[in-house]
Amino acid sequence: MFFYKLGRNQSLLFMKYIFTMAAAAFLLWGCANEMEVAPQAAENPQSVADTTNFNNPMHAARSAGTKVMMQAFYWDVPGSGTWWNTISGKVPSWASAGIDAIWLPPATKGQSGGYSMGYDPFDYFDFGNYNQMGSTETRFGSLAEIQSLITTAHNNDLSVIADIVVNHCSGGASQANPYTGSNTYTNFQPASGLFARSYNDFHPNNVHASDAGTFGGFPDLCHDKTWVQDWLYNNSNSIAKYYKNTMGFDGWRFDMVKGFEPWVVKNFKNAVGGFTVGEYWDGNAATLETWANSAEASAFDFACYYKMRDALANNDLTQLNGDMLLKRNAYRAVTFVANHDTDEIYTNKILAYAYILTHEGYPCIFYRDYEEWLDKNKLNNLIWIHNNKAFGNTTYLFADNDEYVARRNGAPGIIVYINNSNSWQERWVDTNWASTTIKDYTGSSTWEPVTQGDTWVKVQAPPHGYTIWSPK
């Protein structure tokens, strides 16, 4: 959610907030470093057995959910309508690296017009083609430019994930509201002429006073209203069907799903298919699992995120043995190290990527980590290993304050050895390979040991680094 960024870019957002108040008179707003070590990623995605669930990637036009997702934005990306073109230019190299989907920010007109990051939705059908809220283009560009981006992504076999914000709306005009006895900003007459809204479509109303949660004082959509359901997913030109059939989006990231019931996500996804993931911001793995099962969708694995944060911040890699959604239901887990809302893993961040890109779940890479802050060669190497070596379930072999070792049991499978100490470490580990020469596919170690007949072998890892072993 955009609101949480106040702590990071406070002064900039405050200025935008003041501008919005005055204008609207309304409320608040890693080419692999493998090179010679790891060849180019294979083109064929990992197969998925379950073909009955709409969230299964096999129901999407492409392979979203099987390789690696790129979050293709960060908070306060450059404005002036250039972002869609920026992403278009990066798509070919991302596809070559092994990315299978790009998650875009909310792409339609918000209350703040050309300043909006999209999380203050006003017109769900204005992709930068209507002059309203102070601009024609969105912060990210024009309708033609996002259409070109989606085409470019599809031409490179990338799925495009739309960010769906349907908990709340923003920018409505004032109107008398019989349910509150006062005026509320609930009169929405978008220039597109689609999904007009009034006080009847928000809480409180004649159905009930509230739902699962509100956000920041914004008008809170009532999902029990037939009018709202029709425009979200039932109508032939609903948001779900327009975004899928007209715009060409392949999947959905739902914002702030704590604010409404999980059946909303399930109904939307069942109307159009496609990979679906919800932002249920909660560190409890059991709670995430319950929501994911109810919504029949994936969830961002905040439990994994917080365990990695604590493990690296407190020099205690035993935290990585804790409860996570990926360990309860890897098929439903979207793992991540940072996103546009939260970025708390500062020290040895690459170790967190080594974890999510070698373990189960669907990993998501943050744009700034990949393009600006971390070693792109190392990230590309990890992506290649994820897509080509890291298969099967996981056996956790060892963990203490400084060291963590796990084994993926598929074919060919891997041994991942994370070392957060200040010196090289060595450890005997049990593999799935007898009398087999193995190598470190990160290139950090030059060892090429032969596993014993009983499958044991000694491996090593560099200080504040990692190695990933598999048959040569």
In this predicted model, what pLDDT tens digit does every residue of 56-85 receive, in sequence order? Answer: 333 344 668 899 999 999 999 999 999 999
Q: Last residue of some domain: 362, 388, 414?
A: 388
Q: Which of 100, 137, 255, 289 is catalytic?
A: 255
Q: Under 8 Å CB-to-CB from 144, ≥6 apart: which residues?
A: none
Q: Per-residue b/e over 186-198, b at no fewer than 16 CB within 10 Å?
A: bbbebbbebbebb
- Tell me which residue range forms the domain holding 53: 2-388
**Are the C-beta atoms of 385 and 38 separated by less than 8 Å?**
yes
Q: What is the pLDDT of residue 38?
A: 47
Q: Last residue of some domain: 327, 357, 388?
A: 388
Overall domain count for the chain = 2
Structure confidence by residue, pLDDT tens digits, 271-304: 999 999 999 999 999 999 999 999 999 999 999 9
CATH number at residue 268: 3.20.20.80
Q: What is the pLDDT of residue 63?
A: 67
Q: Does 120 appear as a known binding residue?
A: no
Query: Residue 405: beta bridge partners?
Result: 398, 417
Catalytic status, residue 369: no
Structure confidence by residue, pLDDT tens digits, 99-151: 999 999 999 999 999 999 999 999 999 999 999 999 999 999 999 999 999 99
Average pLDDT over the chain, rounded to an integer: 89
pLDDT at 9 over 70: no
Catalytic status, residue 137: no
Q: Does 400 appear as a known binding residue?
A: no
Structure confidence by residue, pLDDT tens digits, 192-215: 999 999 999 999 999 999 888 888
* Averaged pLDDT for residues 364-386: 98
294 and 207 in a single domain? The answer is yes
Of the pLDDT bands very low, low, confident and very high (cuts 50, 70, 90), residue 468 is very high
77 and 148 in a single domain? The answer is yes
Which DSSP letter does residue 408 get?
E
Sign of CA dihedral 232, 236, 241, 246: negative
Q: Which of 100, 126, 137, 279 is catalytic?
A: 279
CATH number at residue 449: 2.60.40.1180
Q: Does 401 appear as a known binding residue?
A: no
300 and 404 in a single domain? The answer is no
279 and 373 in a single domain? The answer is yes
